[in-house]
Amino acid sequence: MSATERFALRMEERDKKNVARMSKKLKVSSSEFVKRAIDHYIRYLTILESETITLTREEFSVLRELMNSQDEPNERLLAAAKAYRKFQAKKSGGEG
């Protein structure tokens, strides 16, 4: 079992009421609700950090043209999509 530490937090009365209301709705303690909210936000920031790319204007223009293209997907793209669907099915317990 992992060790826990106490953490003091000050918040506005309205925020405290919102935490109490939502924790009651979810049938968890206020502490558990705050821990879950923090964990959720950390995961959100981690995803943003790892999945955000910055494009130059020129790169964005090329991407926009490609996205708006009417070309049919090539075999490599179709194979990649099929592999992705198979991976997702396996990950969720379904069959590929």
Residue 53 predicted with pLDDT over 90: no
42 within domain boundaries? yes
- When the pLDDT of each residue in the chain is averaged and rounded to a whole number, the result is 88
Q: Does some domain include residue 5? A: no
In a domain, 40, yes or no: yes
Q: What average pLDDT does this structure show over 9-32?
A: 95
HSE on the CB side for 10, CA within 13 Å? 0
Range of the domain at 25: 13-52
Token representation of residue 52: 């955000």
Task: State mean pLDDT over 23-38.
Answer: 95
Residue whose token pair is 């099915």: 89
Q: Count Cβ neighbours within 10 Å for each residue of 32-66 and write b for 16 or more, e otherwise.
A: ebbeeeeeeeeeeeeeeeeeeeeeeeeeeeeeeee
pLDDT at 57: 96
Where is pLDDT greater, at 15 or 46?
15
Q: What is the pLDDT of residue 96?
A: 46
Number of domains into which the chain is organized: 1
Q: In this structure, what token pair is assigned to residue 31?
A: 């502490």
